[in-house]
Amino acid sequence: MAPTRSRRTPRSRSPRRAPDLDALPERALLELRLCDLGLRLRDTELHARIDALYRELEGRGLTLRPHAWLSTEWFAPDGVPGFAIPFYLAHPRLAALEQQKMNEVEGGTEHSFRQLLRHEAGHALDSAYRLHERSRWRELFGSFNAPYHRRYQPRPHSKRFVRHLPNWYAQSHPAEDFAETVAVWLDPRSNWRVRYRDWPVMSKLLYVDGLMREIAGVEPLVRRKDQVEPISALTLTLGEYYEEKRRRYRLNLRRVYERDLKQLFPVRSNGHGGIDAANYLRRARPEIRELVASTTGAHRYAIDRLLRELIARSADLDLVVGSGAAANGRLARGVAEKVSQYLAGGHARLTR
């Protein structure tokens, strides 16, 4: 979604025979190059879901049918009326590996996949008709050319943005704001006229509604069929892919951990006993992780990694659980609130 991708990667030679991914041990699987996985979008159930998106567009009178291809993540290149889908969604073994390595599969459920399809369709429509060049578009959404930032501070209670993808993604950039607004408009079950009634964001939704009616039945201005960074051209191995991906999720927040942890847990002093804070956090980690994921939509790998660092730092500082502090879940909620703040400040979702 977010990053501008303008270069086309030369296609590598396809393997003569696709490997049996289910039969390979994990070590051998991780040594495979992405281009050698033998994946083709048309051979998967994802193709039927894309056809369902086309029917939604057709039902609105729109003629664009965005082309899709497999790559490393979800994204829609600027100026290309199509989008990439993560390769791991094309095979159950690869989806399971993504879950194992990252604790989450983005687009792994039919519901989340359809949400992401509609979002990417918003980008594709913008590119196909150069909608962001219109003055009213800029007035409502902002500058399309504004820089993308890896971090943004969302306003969870703001009613100036629709709520579609997790982590208040509409607030990350004007282009994402538009794509999210289109996704809500396109979703036949969103009931947006009722849900967003009396919200300031209704002006954006009404603008999109009028804009889509205007381009209904009109052939796209841009008809490029580029495939940017297709899976067939990527020569890094699965192991290298995950090494780089996991590195992107590391959050450099250690300087604030000590301060916040000491607010939640007292330091052991004068031989005073008590439950080790590190042991408590280990036991409460599943509860805390789900609390954070359900309220922020943050990636579970980022949550788990952050919790591991909090556990290690709690042990280093010899922190303990105060008397009665763990009762009724209050302490777990307090830790979850801190973790949510870290993730919001660091924007721990995948960059689109």
- Placement of tokens 């954006």 in the chain: 204
327 or 144, higher pLDDT: 144
Q: What is the mean pLDDT of residues 111-117?
A: 96
- Per the rule left: phi > 0, alpha: psi between -120 and 50, beta: everything else, 38 is left
Tens digits of per-residue pLDDT, 79-105?
A: 999 999 999 999 999 999 998 888 789
Q: Is the pLDDT of residue 350 over 50?
A: no
Query: Residue 352: what pLDDT?
Result: 43
* 231: nearest Cα among 33, 5, 80: 33
Query: Residue 275: what pLDDT?
Result: 86
Q: Is the pLDDT of residue 346 over 80?
A: no
- Map residue 320 onto helix, strand or coil: strand
Q: Where in 280-348 does DSSP place strands (E)? A: none
Out of 124-128, 231-235, 294-298, which region has the weakest mean confidence (pLDDT)? 294-298
Query: Residue 150: what pLDDT?
Result: 63
Tens digits of per-residue pLDDT, 129-166?
A: 999 999 999 999 999 999 887 667 778 889 999 999 98
Out of 78-87, 203-212, 332-341, which region has the weakest mean confidence (pLDDT)? 332-341
